Chains A and B, each alone.
Chain A
Amino acid sequence: MKPRPFDYARPETIDEAVALLAEYGDEARILAGGQSLMAMMNLRLADPAVLIDIARVEEMSHIRDLGDKIEVGAAVTQNRLLAWPELKTKLPLLAVALPWVGHFQTRNKGTVCGSIAHADPSSEIPLSLATLEGEVVLRSKRGERVLKASDFQVDMLTTAREGDELIVAVRFPVKPGCRAAFREVARRHGDFAIVAVAATIDNNGTTRLGVGGMAGTPVVRAIADGNIKDTVEQMIAELEGYEDLHASAELRRDLLRNLAPVVVAEAQTCAA
């Protein structure tokens, strides 16, 4: 199918984009890479009156090292971050998680921030941001605010972004010596994950386990004493999982039970 008619605007600055959002609010949608939004518009699941194309806003096309964080602007594609020479040393979790995002062809256009804005509960980039305790930078005419990942994504495809706010960037914390692993189970590689698991191990030995596809948002637990099994069983009891077209809640629980220890073990053995 084809999208319904819409007004199209292509701002060149953040101020222009924010002014448009102030004018149109929830009637407008931000178009960056369009790898989720355009599919939803073609299927008529999304029907914006105004489309604000931010892909050419130079101010948001940066990958910036802030020292303790890496800031990724809203116009940066997934493949550009994946090809960033320092990714492996600064953000090892993203280096192993990004290849799971869609396909080579969709990563060429899909953006890092767009995936976070879309807030799919099984999606790799929101899960990585939550596991690393990253933050989302929002701008509106009213000013700027910075939300923690856990405060930003509130439910399935639902975020704390107000209608007049633009995601200008996300910030991933850099943790020295951090080891990381990522795996997911899907029908085919590149499909939406049924269950996705991220694990990081800090210098002080704390394991952080992030789980996608079990609830409306990514769920993250810190494990200090190294007892992975108990933590996983506790998560399974608390989250229960959900049923959709692809998997039952029971299958999701089983996948988590089997996948989590493998991913943690992989993080333990990978080089810092």
Chain B
Amino acid sequence: MRRVNKDQKVRISLTLNGRKVSAETEPRTLLCDFLRHSLAATGTHVGCEHGVCGCCTVQIDGAAVRSCLTLAMQAEGRDVRTVESLAGPDGKLNKLQQAFQNNHALQCGFCTPGILMSFTDFLSRNPKPTEDELREVLSGHICRCTGYAGIMAALKEAVAAD
């Protein structure tokens, strides 16, 4: 059984975007803060910190989850993927990212990493979703810039391109 006392520092290892990484932190550290502060993976954004806005969505073992409602301890030994995993090593945007750019699906971009990680999971399970299904998944995110029309257009383009 894994046990850590509250005053103890703990070394957490996990796989981040295919690479084994580890860092020291406290047992109370949220996964989103562990990614940003301990692993310098600042692509994941932190918004409401109670699971509502969706900015901090990452994938753990392929499933899109809120990293603000996840302790770093819970991701120990797991396969974590963030928005940094999407573009190619040369910086070339993937199909979903390119569709977002083509359709002006972001303005300030704060919510975008979470949305991309949600749909990377969802579209891998449902490659040909209906518009209602896309809207249902998008309802787990808040965007204050776009009014969602551009995001829906981008999602439909990405689905059609497959």
Chain B binds chain A: yes
Chain A residues with Cβ under 8 A from B118's Cβ?
104-105
Q: Are A103 and B140 in contact (CB under 8 A)?
A: yes
Q: Which of A16, A51, A103, A109 contacts B70 (CB 8 A)?
A: A109
- Answer yes or no: A203 CB below 8 A from chain B CBs: no
Pairwise interchain contact B28-A188, C-beta atoms closer than 8 A: no
B30 at the binding interface (Cβ < 8 Å): yes
CB distance from B2 to the nearest CB of A (A): 4
Asked if B90 is at the interface of the complex by the 8 Å CB criterion, the answer is no
Q: What is the 8 Å Cβ interface bit string for chain A, positions 97-109, against chain B (1 contact, 0 not)?
A: 0010011111011
Least CB distance from B12 to A in Å reads: 11
Query: Per-residue CB proximity of B24-61 to A under 8 Å, as 1/0?
Result: 00111010010000000000000001110010010010
- List A204-238 residues whose CB lies under 8 Å from chain B: none
B1 within 8 A of A: yes
Please measure, in the bound complex, the distance between the C-alpha atom of A226 and the C-alpha atom of B27, giving whole angstroms: 55
CA distance A105 to B118 in the complex (A): 7
Which of A34-42, A148-156, A175-183 is the interface stretch?
A34-42
**Residues of the B chain whose Cβ atoms lie less than 8 Å from the Cβ of A38:** 30, 51, 68-71
| Known A10-B1, A106-B140: A5·B66 in contact at CB below 8 Å | no
B107 on the A face (CB < 8 A): no
A104 and B51 CA atoms in complex are apart in Å by 12
B71 partner residues in chain A, CB cutoff 8 A: 8, 31, 34, 38, 51, 53
B87 at the interface (CB under 8 A from A): no
- Is B70 a contact partner of A5 (Cβ separation < 8 A)? no
The answer to whether B2 and A10 touch across the interface, beta carbons within 8 angstroms, is yes
| Neighbouring B residues of A59 by C-beta, 8 Å | none
Q: Is the interface of A mostly helix, strand, loop or mixed?
A: loop
A245 lies within 8 A of chain B by Cβ: no
Give the contacting residue for B28; candidates A6, A16, A108; CB below 8 A. A6
Cβ contact of B69, chosen from A1, A10, A34, A55, cutoff 8 A: A34
In the bound assembly, the distance between CA atoms of A183 and B56 in angstroms comes to 29
Residues B69 and A190 in contact, CB atoms below 8 Å apart: no
Asked if A25 lies at the interface with its beta carbon under 8 angstroms from chain B, I say no
Residue on B nearest A6 in the bound complex, by CB: B6
Can you name the residue of chain B whose Cβ is closest to the Cβ of A20? B1
Complex Cα spacing A23 to B60, Å: 31
| CA of A53 to CA of B71, assembled, Å | 10
Alpha-carbon distance A43/B64, docked complex (angstroms): 22
Q: B116-145 CB contact bits vs A (8 Å, 1 = yes)?
A: 001001100000000000001101100000
Chain A residues lying within 8 Å of B5, measured Cβ to Cβ, are: 7
Q: Which residue of A lies closest to B4 (CB)?
A: A8
* Chain B window 1-16, contacts with chain A (Cβ cutoff 8 Å), 1 for yes, 0 for no: 1111111000000000
In this assembly, does B74 line the interface, its C-beta being within 8 Å of a C-beta of chain A?
yes
Q: Does A142 contact B (CB under 8 A)?
A: no
Known: A8-B71, A34-B71, A108-B65. A2 touches B51 (CB 8 A): no
A34–B31 CA distance with the chains assembled, in angstroms: 13
A103 and B2: CB pair below 8 A? no
Residue picked from A11, A43, A106, most chain B C-beta under 10 Å: A106
Known: A6-B28, A7-B4, A38-B69. 17 other contacts (CB 8 A): A2-B49, A3-B30, A7-B3, A8-B6, A10-B1, A10-B3, A11-B1, A31-B74, A34-B69, A38-B68, A42-B68, A105-B65, A105-B137, A105-B140, A108-B64, A109-B63, A189-B136
A–B complex contacts, Cβ < 8 Å, 28 sampled: A1-B49, A2-B28, A5-B27, A5-B28, A7-B6, A8-B3, A8-B73, A35-B66, A38-B30, A38-B71, A53-B74, A55-B74, A103-B139, A104-B64, A104-B140, A105-B54, A105-B65, A105-B66, A105-B118, A105-B140, A106-B51, A106-B66, A108-B63, A108-B65, A108-B121, A109-B65, A109-B70, A189-B139
